[in-house]
Chain A
Amino acid sequence: MISIRSVVFQGLILACYAAPAVARTIVITDADCERMAAISSEAPRLGWAGAAYTTAEYGNSAIYITQKSAFLIVYPLDRIPPGQRIVKAEWTVPYLQAFPLATGSRIQVRRILQEWGPGVSHLYRMTRPQRLEWHTPGAHGAGQDRSTKATAVVTIKGTGEHTFNVTEDVELWYTGAVPNFGWLLTADDPDSFFNMHSPFWNGAKGFKLRITYEPQ
């Protein structure tokens, strides 16, 4: 005997499994990222030279992006199930100021091409398990340390958040076409000073990677 109750129950299961494929969006924040660093040629041995407080004193309460410094971050993509297609990926960063005030900061995002990890600094991409230098200090080696083609080159003004379109990079990483060593965010010209909030201070969970995917 078929009861109304069992029809409703089985219908619910069928609806879940046989529903037309729909896109899903996830947000991965800096709190999910194990690999992050703020490197600077002015403190070449430090992995957290984000903000310069005074001579030889640095910290992570802000992330200053200049031509001499960079922010590195790897977002884990393992929350995207297999068999998907990346529809859209956007990376948002929170910031306080962008100098010069009149013209804004010229900022670039590039994929990092080499593995990096513990001990990362301006000089080294890791010091454990072995000490390995960047091809060019500061991960400046185009085509060696960082991608030749920039993911984004933008001029940012004012204060608030900026969102970069990173769909192509996330698709490349997700499909395994290239390994995911994350992004490097740095400034393009000597006058730029981009003062980002810190993932460990007032910008916690503000560095958001929003990914929309759907079944292939």
Chain B
Amino acid sequence: MSRVRISDRWRRDGAVMAAFLWLICAAGPALAQRELRISTSPETPMPFVTTVVAPAARFSAVSEVAGALAVGHRPKQPAHVSIFRLDAQGQIVPGEPVTILLPKPAALGARPNHVIGMAWHPRFPLLYVWQDVEPQPAEGPPIDPATSAEFDHLLVYSLEEAQLNLVLATARGADFYCGNAGGGFALNATATRLYVPNMQQPDKMKKMVTAIGWLWLDPDGLPVFAKPDEKPNEVSLPTAKPSSLDPPAAATARAAKLALWEQAKVAGQPLVLRKTQEVTVQFHYSYPSPACYAPIDDDAVLLTASAGIMSWAISDRLGRFSYFYLLPQVPHRYRLALHPDLPVVYVTTLIYDGRIIRMEHADGAITLTPQTVLLDNIVTYSPVQVLTKRNQLAVGANGWVCLVDLDERGRFKPQGFRMTVNNPTVETIAWSSKFERLYVPVEKTP
């Protein structure tokens, strides 16, 4: 009996001693104030998450207007794009998705083509898809321009009718580098600019260098073709007017325009896309150019650079581009996403660790310093999605979808969750603020 009591007292005193020593240790050097490390709590399932069986998914985009979720697949899959219909609550309509095989010219032979980016028009049921072909091996020669001359990078699909229709295929030729594994593709909020990847132009020595920029869109949602007397890629072109057409009027305008273009094509008149593009030191000869676009407004866009992120202030002749290098250095792996309501951008480093970086921008320029959250035992595979009404951020990871709570300034709170999904590499997720639903492509049903 006595021996038991002594043992209890030792245990009690030992616990006090341990707590005391812990206090001494805890008073030592603290973590840097900008860094937060959290362990996510398991929470499966999450009621607002809809998993979609779409194997090898790399891109996804949801349209509340079209009532559809588009999923772009990795290269060498049976389909390039799958379209899932949504019901009025945003749930996936049962049944097989509509699948799309993207067109390519016969001259490219067996070289596979693949999706690089997708975006829905915010007001019309139009899906923009950017495609490319498999890159040459590093030591191989570039793709023969003759074989890719008729390869259209931009495809515009319409879901206005029951069937999906390809309404336009364009963006071909030497203005776009052919043979890229990736690249940024984004539509601005007013749907006047379609930011596209891997543009190129000759330098003073007539050597092609990479460029960044956008194609102009008309109010009907179709690209603008330059008038015969117009320089197609003037930087200081007037800003296009945002769409004021209602969907039926836009559809009528598109039909008329497409008929005219068809006539012009038959008559052998060249159609040249109106675009704005610029060359920067950062992207000289470097692809993808860029890996990611995040348009803020008509004057400012954020992009990923190989070593971090950069701002492009279009009206600023003096400080046009500003690069913010990020550590750790993982070239070409950074992906960014804007907070829809706050001047905040989030950056993930793909297939590296569970790090998410938050930065603020002001007038389009990156400002102050990053805040970082590191999710323990997580490897991120996707850009983030901000779940606006939930004040949370979601990211695709190694077999999970992870959520991190945000405060009113979009800063990370020390609380995160993870939901197990049947996908070892969740490369894409899509959020609908209307349906308050997060769509997560998975390999198969559980």
Contact = CB atoms under 8 A, between A and B. Distances in A.
B365 A46 contact: yes
Given A6-B13, A47-B365, 14 more contacts: A36-B369, A37-B368, A42-B319, A43-B322, A46-B365, A47-B366, A48-B322, A49-B319, A58-B319, A58-B322, A59-B323, A60-B323, A61-B307, A127-B362
Q: Which of A27, A76, A201: most chain B CB closer than 10 A?
A: A201
Contacts of A198: 325
A24 to B, nearest CB: 10
Contacts of A200: 308, 324-327
B406 to A, nearest CB: 17
B368 A34 contact: yes
A206 interface: no
Given A9-B17, A33-B369, A128-B343, A60 B362 contact: no
A158 interface: no
Given A127-B362, A200-B325, A45 B313 contact: yes
Contact of A57 (B307, B321, B325): B321
A13 B367 contact: no
Contacts of B434: none
B282 interface: yes
B324 A56 contact: no
12 contacts: A9-B17, A33-B33, A34-B369, A35-B368, A37-B367, A40-B319, A43-B318, A45-B365, A47-B365, A48-B365, A57-B282, A58-B321
Interface residues of A, number: 46
B360 interface: yes
Interface of A: 5-6, 9, 12-13, 16, 26-27, 29, 31-37, 40, 42-49, 53-54, 56-61, 76, 79, 117-121, 127-128, 198, 200-201, 204
Contacts of A27: 29
A27 B32 CA distance: 11
Task: Provide the main secondary structure of the chain B interface.
Answer: mixed
B318 A45 contact: yes
B244 to A, nearest CB: 31
A46 B366 CA distance: 8
A119 B322 contact: no
Given A45-B316, A45-B318, A57-B281, A31 B34 contact: yes
Task: Provide the main secondary structure of the chain A interface.
Answer: loop
A118 to B, nearest CB: 5
Interface string B22-58: 0010000110111100000000000000000000000
A61 B325 CA distance: 6
A56 B316 contact: yes
B389 interface: no
A141 B29 CA distance: 37
Interface in B145-196: none
Contact of B281 (A35, A46, A54): A54
A179 B33 CA distance: 20
B329 to A, nearest CB: 8
A44 B367 contact: no
A37 B13 CA distance: 51
B20 interface: yes
Contacts of A204: 327
Interface string B299-326: 0000000011010010011111111111
Contact of A32 (B34, B280, B282, B307): B34
